[in-house]
Structure formats: C-alpha cells, structure tokens
Amino acid sequence: MPPAPQWGGPPPRQWQPPAPPKKRRTGLIIGICLGTVVLLGGGGFAIFAIATDDSVEVHRPAGGPDVVAQAYVAAVNQRDPIGLQNVNCHASTEYPATRSVADFERDNVRMRLGKPTTGPGGGAFFEVEVSRAAHPPTTTRLELNREEAGTWCVFVTGGGLPPNLPP
C-alpha cells in the first residue's frame, strides 16, 4: 500500500515579485538643508536690517501746530521720552529721546510755551522760555514743520532742544 498523503506540511511555494529597491533620500535631505540655509540667511538679513535702521516709530499728536507745541513742552517738562519722540521731526535711534530726557533732568531744563510768532517759510513758530541750570532763562523760537501727511512736528537738535538756543 502506498503511503498516505501527509497533511499539515509547508504549503507549496508561490512566486512573489522581488522587493522594490530602497528609495534613496539624498534629494530630500539636500532640499531640507538648502531650505534651512535660505531661512537662516533671510532671518539674519532681517535682523541686520532692523538693527541698522535708525528710524523709530512715532505717533504724531492729532491737531495743529499749537497742539504739537504744547505736547513738546509737556514732554520736556515731564521728562517723557515717548512724548518727545512723537513730536520730533527727526526722531532716531542715533539720538534717542531717553538720552535727551536724561540731559533735561541733569540740566534741570524747564520750558514755558509763549505766543505764536512769525518766521521764514511755511512752518509755524512759537516763543518758548527755556530755563536751565547755570543759564539765565532764555526766550527762543520753536520751529514746527508740516509733514507731507499733514501732521506737524517740532524741529529740534539731537539733544531735544530748539537749535537756536544758545549753548
């Protein structure tokens, strides 16, 4: 008698396609590296551009030259660097208003706004009385300029005082 077939043995082998080759990720890695370099370079440039910009953000007071002149005198007397910065025609980081305010405190600068006066050009002018330590009170002219946007600003030196004030 022939031997009985055996059940439960290994199944017959079926044909399987060969495994696909592993994909290379070289292009992906190079792309990520280049993207990182571009982002870091752009970020570095942005930081450089911001750090070397000497302009500052200002918020001009609404109103005419009389309002701006009053705001300037108040900023000087109250030692307010933000108020001084907001009325200064040429506010910059090169001559920060905080330094001007420190000088006002050191020299005990006080101002009193006088009457409007005349001057050259299309600006507005006010008399201001300035008192400082070691100086007699001086009356000088404060010049205000009208900007293209229609707002007014005070023309002062880097030290925050009118340019025609004697040293």
pLDDT digits (tens, 9 = 90+) for 69-95: 999 999 999 999 999 999 998 887 777
Phi-psi region of 40 (alpha: psi -120 to 50; beta: other; left: phi over 0): alpha
Instruction: Encode pLDDT of 21-39 as tens digits.
Output: 777 777 778 888 888 888 8
Identify whether the C-beta of residue 93 lies closer than 8 Å to the C-beta of residue 60. Answer: no
How far apart (Å, rounded) are the C-alpha atoms in residues 123 and 27? 64
Task: Name the amino acid, one letter, at 35.
Answer: G
Residue 61: both structure tokens together: 């007071």
For 47-60, what is each residue's pLDDT tens digit?
Answer: 655 444 445 677 88
Contact of 114 with 127, CB cutoff 8 Å = yes
User: E-strand spans in the chain?
Assistant: 110-117, 124-132, 135-146, 152-155
Question: For the whole model, what pTM was predicted?
Answer: 0.65
Domain spans of the chain, in order of start: 65-155
Q: What is the CATH number of domain 65-155?
A: 3.10.450.50
